Amino acid sequence: MKPSVTILFAIITFIGGLGINSNAFFKVVKKPKAIFIFIIGANLIMPLIAWTLAHLFFPNQQNVITGFILLMAVPTGMTGYIWSSIYKGNEALSLTLILVSTLLAPILTPYTVSLLSNTSVHIDTAGMMISLVLMVVIPSIVGTLINNLTKGEVNNHITPCLKPFSKISLFLIILINTALVSERLIANASWAYVPIALTCAFLAVIGYPISYMLGGIARLADKESKSITFASSLRNVSTALVLAIAYFPPETALPVIFGIVFQQSTCAVMAYVLYGRKKTT
């Protein structure tokens, strides 16, 4: 089932793209300060923190180090928009950050990994770029265009019906990709996996106070700050898993798998810590 992964991921991204409105995008980019803060937090600070921690705790495990860098180098996730909506963030900004991060991913993700990993393993930068274009960029653009052409009607009436297919596709992607590396990972399983898991949990947590402080330093409005916090802290981890399996040794997938485990639970905790109970009214 491995060849189906690219198609399944494209389906997820396309469904997510149906919720993006390019008009909101152009409105937000006229005041780009929040976008620049997001790029600094998500694409510069967090990969450097991952690189530092990985080298500190796993100095002789280059494949694991690469996995941590890849985890922080992939674009932001669509779930950032969902959490921002729950806590009354700037929804237009959240969608814009997803689109910006998606469009930049074919360039930033491969070159961030290549620059920071310093690995002897050959990194297929061109292959990663092509995969990101096919899995992320093109489906997002097509979904956004359809949303614009229907003036948002597809998002209001069709997208909710497609959500179950998106969830099923994500389940299958994780299942297939984990199965591909399971034999190697299980054979090498040991207590050495515990520090990898704990480091992933710490990385999942630390993004929130850092991006929250960046919003404060930049004097962003409260709604903008919330959108930046969620967008900078959440990652499209399923993209990282697909890339890890396709272009790197099996051990590279370990931080990504643990990242999937911790991402949403830590988000729920940190959102409560920073903003209190979710806003229901």
Q: Which of residues 256 and 136 earns the better pLDDT score?
A: 256
199 has pLDDT over 90: yes
pLDDT at 279: 54
The alpha-helical segments, DSSP class H, found in 150-187 are 153-157, 159-187
Percent of the chain with pLDDT over 90: 25
Least confident piece of the model among 29-43, 60-74, 113-127, 220-234? 113-127
Give the Å distances, CA to CA, from 183 to 207, 247, 265: 32, 18, 27
CA separation for the pair 112, 228 (Å, rounded): 21
User: In terms of Cα–Cα distance, which of 274, 19, 9, 3 is closest to 138?
Assistant: 9
Average pLDDT over residues 248-269: 86
pLDDT tens profile 2-12: 778 778 878 87
CA separation for the pair 236, 233 (Å, rounded): 10
| Terminal C-alpha separation, the chain | 44
Residues 6+ apart with CB under 8 A from 154: 18, 146, 147
Q: How many CB atoms lie within 10 A of CB 267?
A: 23
CA 88 to chain centre: 21
Sign of the Cα pseudo-torsion (104, 66, 127, 263, in order): negative
Average pLDDT over residues 235-251: 84
Structure tokens at 241: 């898993």
Give the Å distances, CA to CA, from 211 to 67, 204, 216: 22, 12, 9
CA separation for the pair 116, 135 (Å, rounded): 24
pLDDT at 91: 77
| DSSP designation for 123 | P
The mean of the pLDDT values for the chain is: 83
Bridge partners of 76? 235
Say how many CA atoms lie within 13 Å of 81 toward its Cβ: 19
pLDDT at 122: 60
